[in-house]
Structure formats: C-alpha cells, structure tokens
Amino acid sequence: MTEHSQQEIELQAAAFRRLQKHLMQDRKDVQNIDMMNLAGFCRNCLARWYQEAAAERGVELGKIEARELFYGMTMDEWKDKYQTEASDAQKEAFTVAFDENVGKA
C-alpha cells in the first residue's frame, strides 16, 4: 500500500470538513434516520469513523467525545434542536438498512 501524499491528505481533510459543515450547518433538516435509510451512513457513523481513525493512531477518543466534536454540541442539544420523531415507516426502513450495512462501514 502506498502512502498518501501530504497534498492528498489535505484535500481529503478539506472534503471531510466540507461534508461536516454541509451536514451540520446547511442541512440540519435532514434526519440521521433518513440518511441511514438512503445512504447507509449518518452523522453518527461519521463521528464513529472519526473515533476509529483516532484509535488506529493511538489517540483515545470516546464515543460521546467524538460525537460532540463532529456535531459541535452534545447529542442532547442536537436532538432538542433538530431531531424529529421517526415514523414507523422510517423505523422499519432503518431496521432493513442497518441489517444490510452492519460490517460494511
């Protein structure tokens, strides 16, 4: 496996930051459950991937801390401000999407 160039790492980091901004500032209206159902990942997955990347590099970062870093606030704050109650149809679709994506992320 070849190492990534510094420029490539910087571009990937910039793209990640743009995705994070898009999801956290521009599209707060999009619910995590809808993202999971359509794309197989959500904001929580991104926070978990951030946590896993930290662990791979020997950096201790807990689940709650990773989510707060990604969301820019606590999960309770996010839920109070932006999360809506999921419908039965969304919950059913989530069960299917979750089962299809376990282990793939």
Residue 82: phi and psi, rounded to 5, are -130, -20
In the prediction, which pLDDT does 102 show?
67
Alpha-carbon gap, residue 58 to 60, rounded angstroms: 6
- List pLDDT tens digits, range 7-62: 999 999 999 999 999 999 999 999 999 999 999 899 999 999 999 999 999 999 99
Position 17 scores a pLDDT of 95
State the pLDDT at residue 61: 96
Spatial distance between the Cα atoms of 102 and 61, rounded to a whole number of angstroms: 22
Kindly state the tokens that stand for 5.
Answer: 């160039």
User: Distances from the Cα of 46 to the Cαs of 1, 6, 43, 67, 87, in angstroms?
Assistant: 24, 22, 5, 9, 23
Position 103 pLDDT exceeds 60: no
Domains in the chain, ordered, with CATH? 30-101 (1.10.3340.10)
Mean pLDDT, residues 81-91: 94
Q: What is the pTM of this model?
A: 0.83
Residue-level pLDDT at 43: 96
Q: How far apart are the first and last CA of the chain?
A: 20
